[in-house]
Amino acid sequence: MKIITFLSTLNRRWVYTLVWIAVIIPLLFPMSFKINTTPEVQSLYDAVENVPDSSTVLLTFDLWPNALAETEPMARTALHHLFRKNCNVVTLTTIPLGGPSVAERVTREVAALYDKKYGVDYVNLGYKPNYVSVLRGLATSIESIYPTDNSGTMLSQLPLMHTVKTYDQIAFIFIVADNGIVDNWVSIVNAQFGKKMCAAVTSVMAPKLYAYMGSGQLTGILGGMKGAAEYEQLVHKPGLATIGISIQSLVHFLIIALIGLGNLGFFLERRAKQKEARG
């Protein structure tokens, strides 16, 4: 009976403390695990590898700042992968808070490592409201939807944008998102214009995208921290996701243990009540 009382009266503060410990331990004592590559991530990597060198890739930063722990490592690794292949990168976002600033900061940081010049090798178009109009409008004219880049420079003054006018000049679309915008990229841009694309999304978004992967509309998926860590391994740029995945490992184990404990208490309590009812 003692165990039933303990399990049913366990204070939530103990659970919070356990979560805190599970997060802190891997930070203090880094652990490394073998990260196996899933077919979805391998497929994404291969799709980016197959993009012709020196072609233009559209990288989207459709993300809010709260999920940056998952999405920033994905965007960072994608930029390493693309710049290493000498691809030109055009970035844009459909999210007003976060997207433009993150795209600006992350792209400039990674571009500096590869001696890439703004306006020549990469451009940040920034944000424009009404994503449906933006996604559809870019097919006819990028300049009519984005007359200027994120910092207000006219596109006509940016050499890269002299050759990139519509989706026709974009070889591949790499979507980094933490929301349902991937559906729109697929239904508007892939379905109508046949553009090849892949998606790097948060764990909670990934299951839905298997449907698009199965239909061939997405060439690959990076799902959450695990997907980001797998991609970092493939690109040989271990970073924040490789560190973060060990923290997530412990927390997942803890949650599974808590589910088990909670159910143990539930069954013991139910059995005790049944015994009592039988007299």
Interaction with another protein in 177-206: which residues (CB under 8 A)? Answer: 183, 187, 192, 203
143 binds another protein (CB under 8 A): no
Q: 110-118: long-range contacts at Cβ-Cβ below 8 A with a sequence spacing of 24 or more?
A: 110/76, 110/79, 110/80, 110/83, 111/79, 111/83, 113/80, 113/83, 114/83, 114/84, 116/83
24 binds another protein (CB under 8 A): no
Q: Could you give the C-alpha distances from 194 to 8, 19, 133, 263, 266, in angstroms and in order?
A: 56, 45, 18, 49, 52
Strand-pairing partners, residue 243, are none
Binder among 98, 164, 185, 220 for another protein (CB under 8 A): 98
**Burial call 153-165: b when 16+ CB within 10 Å, e when fewer:** eebeebebbeebe
101 binds another protein (CB under 8 A): yes
Binder among 25, 111, 254, 268 for another protein (CB under 8 A): 254
250 binds another protein (CB under 8 A): yes
157 binds another protein (CB under 8 A): no
Q: How far is the CB of 188 from another protein (least distance, A)?
A: 9
Binder among 3, 16, 159, 236 for another protein (CB under 8 A): 16
DSSP assignment of 52-63 equals PTT-EEEEEEE-
33 binds another protein (CB under 8 A): yes
Distance (Å, rounded) from C-alpha 206 to C-alpha 121? 31
64 binds another protein (CB under 8 A): yes
Distance (Å, rounded) from C-alpha 48 to C-alpha 42? 10
Q: How far is the CB of 97 from another protein (least distance, A)?
A: 7
134 binds another protein (CB under 8 A): yes
Which window, 31-39, 49-57, 74-82, 83-91, contacts another protein (CB under 8 A)? 31-39
25 binds another protein (CB under 8 A): no
Comparing CB distances to another protein, the nearer of 179 and 249 is 249
User: What dihedral angle (degrees, nearest 10) is formed by the CA atoms of 73, 76, 82, 83?
Assistant: -150
User: What dihedral angle (degrees, nearest 10) is formed by the CA atoms of 44, 200, 87, 172?
Assistant: 70
- Return the closest-CA partner of residue 102 out of 134, 132, 126, 133: 126
Binder among 25, 47, 69, 268 for another protein (CB under 8 A): 69
Which window, 11-19, 53-61, 82-90, 271-279, contacts another protein (CB under 8 A)? 11-19
Binder among 2, 28, 115, 144 for another protein (CB under 8 A): 144
Q: How far is the CB of 159 from another protein (least distance, A)?
A: 19
Q: How far is the CB of 30 from another protein (least distance, A)?
A: 13
